[in-house]
Chain A
Amino acid sequence: MNRLLLSLLFVSLPLVPVRAADPPLRNCIDEQVKAAWAREKVKPAPLADDAEFLRRVHLDIIGIIPTYDEAKAFLDDQSPDKRAKLIDRLLEHPRYALHQADEWDQVLFGRNPPGYETQRRPTFQRWLQEQFAKNVPYDKWVADILKAEGTTVDDGPPWFLAQYDRQPEDAAEKITQTFLGVQLQCARCHDHPFEAWKQVDFYGVAAFLARLQVVQFDKKNNELKAMIGERNTGEVLFTGPAAQQTPGKKGEPIKPKFLQGEALAEPAPPKDLKEERSLPASKAPAKPYFSRKDKLAEWITAKDNPYFARAVANRVWAQFMGRGLVHPVDNMIAKNLTHPELLTACAQQLSAQNFDLKWYIRELCNSQTYQLSSTGEVEDARPTWFERARVRPLSAEELLESWRQATGYDAVAAKAPKPPQGRFHGVTWDYMVRFFGQPNNGTGNFQGGLQEHLYLNNGEVSRLIATDKGSLHQTLLDDKRPWEERVDQLYLSILTRPAKPAEKKKFAEYLSSGDKPAERLREAIWVLLTCSEFRFNH
């Protein structure tokens, strides 16, 4: 792609305040998506029914399926605006912050973050949750992360950069991909073959991070205690294309330069400045005479940064709609862009709303596009033209907490003399992460695995099928209604929908044959907990 195309793709965003007369973004979304259907001659799915919508929006906003009572109340509600009201309610639910923080924690760290000391990061996760609970604007908390002030035991922000101790190139890759949606890493070793990026663009960004270092004091309760220090001196060295490297070749220092922009204007260093190779350990690092890192943070999150708003608008869109308007989300190049005007509209409005993610999520979920059914002939889990809802696997967190909710395990545990602490009790959390943590093929597509099912079939899931009083199991056993009616409750509790006639018949037959109804009911619950309909958000 040449520079002209690039500038077209990243048109800078005029700062237009949203006027009251402007139609809400949700309308714009539906118009643009419809226009693309007409152009591409794509036939959309019908709107999702209430049950399908209910389960989807619960999982997407608060990361857990609804309870039986919640489901029943919503399905019985006759008011025409009940979907919008539900969305508003979920956005104010305490789990909203929890779940959105889970999502972004994975974006920022993943299941295997570099640097083993960031594998456990409760302080960061709590901090990120607070940002969502207070609805802190996205640009504000991203700037905090990139400025990385404070210590890792007291503050969230330094954790992100703590992954990249003295690895400015790795940090530059991650930051540009995550917050700007551009893939610079090819230019680490050679000029990008298809894009405008040159090696000096890459090293120009890395230069902002060249002086950073994790200054570790100690460990507290096995958690890293450190600060992100910035030295007064130090440069990244550029040695030319990797293919032409020779051992011992000394590189040229590269000065910080904004992507597609100017070189950073740096003040002259103080006269008595000595070269600093390393900051002393176990001592809070002093501020440098001039912080390159802070300048990078300010530039990345600036209102007029052409990449920043588009990258976040696209990423959150993909979180709810399955794929980005530019797909994949961390490679925002023109040929991957399916809905150019829509992306521009989303980015402009999100920016005009001061990066209020809650506002944006409300618009997305209220669109008809989001509320389409996932039924139909299209095989792709993430259809290109959003002609039906995407089908995505539940995360390890969503699975475990939804399992426990469905079976009444949580309801029973809450009444125990010593209720369990923490979120991930009931099974061994390490196994959940191992078997359900990254169920994809490297390019974001779901991939089934033998080990996931060995765990489902022979592992700990059956432990969650509580049989005590108050559990789904016991409630249904004590119930004296015909099995067909009880099966309805079984389905609504686990799959968030009423059972179809054929399902009632089949399950009732299964449950009433033999002389061990309790055992059979356990197996029936297991079936619904492990089937595809539960495994995916659809």
Chain B
Amino acid sequence: MNPRCRPADHLSRRALLKGALATTAGGVFMNWGDLFGSAAHAKDVAKEQKSCILIWLNGGASQFETFDMKVGRPTGGPLRPIQTNVVGAQICELMPKMAQQMDKVAVIRSMRTSQIDHPGGIHLMHTGYGPSANVRYPEIGAVCAKFLGREKPDLPNFIKISSNGDAGAGFLGPNYQPFGLDHDGRLPQFAVSNLDPKIEANRNELRNFAEDSFALDRKVEVAGMHREAYESVRRLQKTLKVFDIEQEWAKHRDLYGDTKIGKGCMLARRLVESGVAFVEVGQSGYDTHADNFAGHKGLVPPMDHAWAGLLTDLHQRGMLKNTLVVWMGEIGRTPSINNRSGRDHYVRAWTTVLAGARIKPGIVYGETDLDGKDVKDKPVTEGDFFATIYKSLGINPNKENFQGVRPIPLAPFGSNVVEDLLA
């Protein structure tokens, strides 16, 4: 499509758009073009593509009941810390499985962000920007779809599995809109054709004729785009098998844990393996203004299991070096415990976690003070966080998109990449 791209770029992009990807589990589930005459080659090319999986903790998980425990302090709460496979890094007892994966992750204990409520926070931590009246900022998933996504893909480049955030593609446009699934891989409305395949094939042939007829004396590019978007629907219909996870789930249930979030995480891995640039998996219920501790006892263990399973699986498949796994919600929770045993919203000092891609594994970055009320060292803003994410994926965070004539950098102007987090 783009006449300016170099042959080398073209080769790899084309390879990916056609990419047939064999899973280690066995079956080839994508249509496989004959560009290279070798499935192995396409697989290698696909392996070098960066992808991102976001585990989204909607409502805002507590840093005190996960990665930043304040043992024996009035803000600490009743839960106990446990040792991990990284010397000196203790985490909450609710995460025994992640304790054995700490050598793969970088914990940021010094997040300081600017939106304290849910709608603002959800927007902020999906886009890097606070909500604005006049700019429709794109979510990180849309940005990744644009910059990491395969051209002419068989699958959408931005997939959300039961997750939140409604900024979507923003001004980047319909090509980067999220494709929403539930944990079982159930497809969104209108994704599946109910037409008899024979009738559909016939009418498709007639439709191609009509398109050819229009293209005969008009070379206008938008008609080409319209036609290509239709072809992407045809390709998607052929690859719907990838969303049917039952067979593979039977094999991996123990690794991920038999829960919704477990299923979602395995589906995310499966999609990334099939060439999807960005997958977000959501878990809801963290807004624990009341019964914070009981709430986290219910929510964290299944998430711990799923997340640890995902990291193990990605690692074993050799995918972790090119897949960034982000763990965050929209806000942290207050150091003080309210009279309903709850914790409220807090953004002055909280925690996020990164793993994979270029992230330095097995580190804890930044520090909060004795009671977790403030960042003691190395604060990380939302802008710094997004800049670091983009850089770890090989995307220049200063790159600009445009809404009208207005340049919008991927990470807000003035953000700094946290180089210490990158290997």
Chain A positions within 8 Å of B, measured between CB atoms, are 112, 114-115, 163-164, 167, 170, 173-174, 183, 185-186, 189, 242-243, 328, 330-331, 374-381, 391, 393, 435, 438-459, 500, 502-503, 506-507, 510, 519-520, 523-524, 526-528, 530-533, 535-536, 538
Query: Does the CB pair A381–B210 fall under 8 Å?
Result: no
Q: Does B213 sit within 8 A of A, measured CB to CB?
A: yes
Q: Which of B65-73, B91-99, B122-130, B403-411 contacts A (4 or more CB under 8 A)?
A: B403-411
Query: Does the CB pair A523–B202 fall under 8 Å?
Result: yes
Query: Does the CB pair B220–A450 fall under 8 Å?
Result: no
Taken together as a complex, chains A and B put the C-alpha atoms of A538 and B214 apart, in Å, by 11
Q: Does B193 sit within 8 A of A, measured CB to CB?
A: yes
Q: Identify A379's interface contact among B133, B191, B192, B220, CB under 8 A.
A: B220
Query: Does the CB pair B211–A532 fall under 8 Å?
Result: yes
* Nearest 8 Cβ contacts at the A-B interface: A449-B174, A448-B229, A442-B171, A114-B133, A170-B133, A523-B203, A532-B223, A448-B225
Taken together as a complex, chains A and B put the C-alpha atoms of A444 and B222 apart, in Å, by 12
Taken together as a complex, chains A and B put the C-alpha atoms of A243 and B233 apart, in Å, by 46
User: B230 — which chain A residues lie within 8 A by C-beta?
Assistant: 448, 453, 456-457, 530
CB nearest to B220 among chain A residues? A391
CB nearest to A524 among chain B residues? B206
Chain B positions within 8 Å of A, measured between CB atoms, are 132-134, 136, 156, 170-175, 177, 179, 189-195, 199, 202-203, 206-207, 209-211, 213-215, 217-223, 225-230, 232-233, 236, 401-406, 413-414
User: A530 — which chain B residues lie within 8 A by C-beta?
Assistant: 207, 230
Taken together as a complex, chains A and B put the C-alpha atoms of A472 and B218 apart, in Å, by 28
Query: Does the CB pair A376–B219 fall under 8 Å?
Result: yes
Query: Does the CB pair A452–B229 fall under 8 Å?
Result: yes
User: B226 — which chain A residues lie within 8 A by C-beta?
Assistant: 446, 448, 532, 535-536
Query: Does the CB pair B404–A447 fall under 8 Å?
Result: no
Taken together as a complex, chains A and B put the C-alpha atoms of A406 and B189 apart, in Å, by 26
User: A456 — which chain B residues lie within 8 A by C-beta?
Assistant: 230
User: A243 — which chain B residues lie within 8 A by C-beta?
Assistant: 413-414
Given contacts A450-B233, A456-B230, A503-B213, 14 further A-B contacts (CB under 8 A): A183-B406, A189-B413, A328-B404, A376-B219, A391-B222, A442-B170, A443-B405, A449-B177, A450-B236, A453-B233, A500-B213, A503-B210, A531-B210, A531-B211
Query: Does the CB pair A454–B219 fall under 8 Å?
Result: no
Query: Does the CB pair B174–A379 fall under 8 Å?
Result: no
Taken together as a complex, chains A and B put the C-alpha atoms of A451 and B414 apart, in Å, by 35
User: A500 — which chain B residues lie within 8 A by C-beta?
Assistant: 213
User: B223 — which chain A residues lie within 8 A by C-beta?
Assistant: 391, 532, 536
- Least Cβ–Cβ distance between A358 and chain B, in angstroms: 28
Q: Identify B229's interface contact among A189, A375, A449, CB under 8 A.
A: A449
Query: Does the CB pair B404–A454 fall under 8 Å?
Result: no
User: B207 — which chain A residues lie within 8 A by C-beta?
Assistant: 527, 530-531
Query: Does the CB pair B221–A458 fall under 8 Å?
Result: no
User: A453 — which chain B residues lie within 8 A by C-beta?
Assistant: 229-230, 232-233
Query: Does the CB pair B401–A442 fall under 8 Å?
Result: yes
- Least Cβ–Cβ distance between B331 and chain A, in angstroms: 19
Q: Identify A532's interface contact among B191, B227, B233, B401, CB under 8 A.
A: B227
Q: Identify B206's interface contact among A440, A523, A538, CB under 8 A.
A: A523
Query: Does the CB pair B134–A458 fall under 8 Å?
Result: no
Taken together as a complex, chains A and B put the C-alpha atoms of A338 and B199 apart, in Å, by 50
Q: Identify B218's interface contact among A164, A376, A450, CB under 8 A.
A: A376
CB nearest to B136 among chain A residues? A112
A–B pairs, 17, beta carbons within 8 Å: A170-B134, A377-B219, A381-B220, A391-B220, A438-B174, A442-B172, A449-B175, A450-B174, A452-B174, A453-B230, A458-B190, A458-B192, A519-B199, A523-B202, A532-B211, A532-B215, A536-B226
